[in-house]
Structure 1
Amino acid sequence: MKVEQTKLEGVVIITPRVFGDHRGWFTETFNKEKFMENGIDIDFVQDNHSLSSQKGTLRGIHFQKEPKAQTKLVRCTRGKILDVAVDLRKNSPTYKEWVAVELTAENHKQLLVPKGFGHGFLALTENVEVQYKVDEVYSPDHDRSIKFNDPEIGIEWPDIKPVLSEKDEKAPLLKDSDVDF
């Protein structure tokens, strides 16, 4: 397993070892012991799996407020996405900064998005499947989103017309949100 630190402290790219032969391949996407050896100590409690049928589907920027904030371990198991993490911790030296990583079914990369960060992704192909683990169960009362194109954050999305949910269309700007990190 290879762990790469991004410019945002705690947001890491994890590339598991892949073993392949004439039959296909095998990889461990999560191994608590190996994660702990790399300084990642998280107790995941829920797995999620989504399908984005249309290229250009944009989900995010999502997070859960305290006390139900979530750490996410995200991977793309079909197709290709641009996965984005945004630092929403007001006292952080990287507040409002973001990183973007291309996750694909072929590159097996995963993005670890800690509590205190917003998360979103853009489907770069049709029929994208994304799976992610979280360390806190979904809580509708704590679920929040921020406008994907908030100029205060300035995420550089590819030039694709986004397909948005009603929730994401109506998401507030960061300055109008009740983010509490």
Structure 2
Amino acid sequence: MKVLETYFDKAFLLETPLFESCRGTMQNVFSEEAFREAGIDLTIRDLRTYVMPKTGTFFGIHYYDEKTPVNRILTLSAGRGMDYLIDLRPDSPTYLQWVSYELSAENHRVVYIPYGIGHAFISLAENTIQVYATDAVGGMGITRQLNYQEKKIGLALPVPITAIVEYDVNAPFLPDA
């Protein structure tokens, strides 16, 4: 495993090994030992997949904070998507800054998202499949949301949104300061 980028002093974009044989390819998405060697202490407790049939399927800004310190990793097993990380730590020098990068089944990248960092995603191809894991069981009820149209953040999406759930549309904005 190779660390490609470090964002906001806590989040990592990783390239994981891909092994090929006459049977096809195998990506080693997670190895607790390899992650620990990269400075990431993570124990997977929940693993799920999201299948996005349409280009433009959007997952709004979701995050965990110090009250619910959940850390996440994700990768794609099919398709392509634009992934976003947003620094939502009020005391951070990079507060409200964001970065984006493309994930695909072909580039076999994995992103590590610690608590305090918001995450959003939009599919760039039909039938995109996201593999998502956390170090806590569940997520509903403890995940926090922020409206993706928040002007203080200013996310730029590369394609129009074609599918979005109501709770992302109605997510709260930042309080006025």
Contact 2:124 2:159 in 1 (8 A): no
Q: Letter of the 2:67 partner, please give it.
A: P
The TM-score with structure 1 as length reference comes to: 0.90
Contact 2:20 2:26 in 1 (8 A): yes
Q: Which residue of 2 aligns with 1:164?
A: 164
Q: Deviations over 1:135-175 (max 9, x none)?
A: 12224332221111211011221142342111111111123
Q: Secondary structure at the match of 2:40?
A: coil
Q: Which residue of 1 aligns with 2:131?
A: 131
Is residue 120 of structure 1 aligned with residue 120 of structure 2?
A: yes
Q: Which residue of 2 aligns with 1:29?
A: 29
Q: Secondary structure at the match of 2:33?
A: helix
Contact 1:59 1:121 in 2 (8 A): yes
Q: Letter of the 2:102 partner, please give it.
A: E
CA distance in structure 2 between the aligned counterparts of 1:162 and 1:121, rounded to whole angstroms: 13
Change (3 A) 1:38 1:161: closer
Is residue 4 of structure 1 aligned with residue 4 of structure 2?
A: yes
Where does structure 1 differ by over 4 angstroms across 4 or more consecutive aligned residues?
none
The TM-score with structure 2 as length reference comes to: 0.92
Q: Which residue of 2 aligns with 1:110?
A: 110
Q: Which residue of 2 aligns with 1:60?
A: 60
Q: Secondary structure at the match of 2:175?
A: helix
Gaps of 5+ in 2: none
Is residue 44 of structure 1 aligned with residue 44 of structure 2?
A: yes
Count of residues paired in the alignment: 176
Gaps of 5+ in 1: 177-181
Q: Letter of the 1:105 partner, please give it.
A: A
CA distance in structure 2 between the aligned counterparts of 1:65 and 1:7, rounded to whole angstroms: 17
Contact 1:68 1:139 in 2 (8 A): no
Q: Letter of the 1:79 partner, please give it.
A: G
Bigger shift: 54-63 or 161-170?
161-170
Q: Which residue of 1 aligns with 2:86?
A: 86
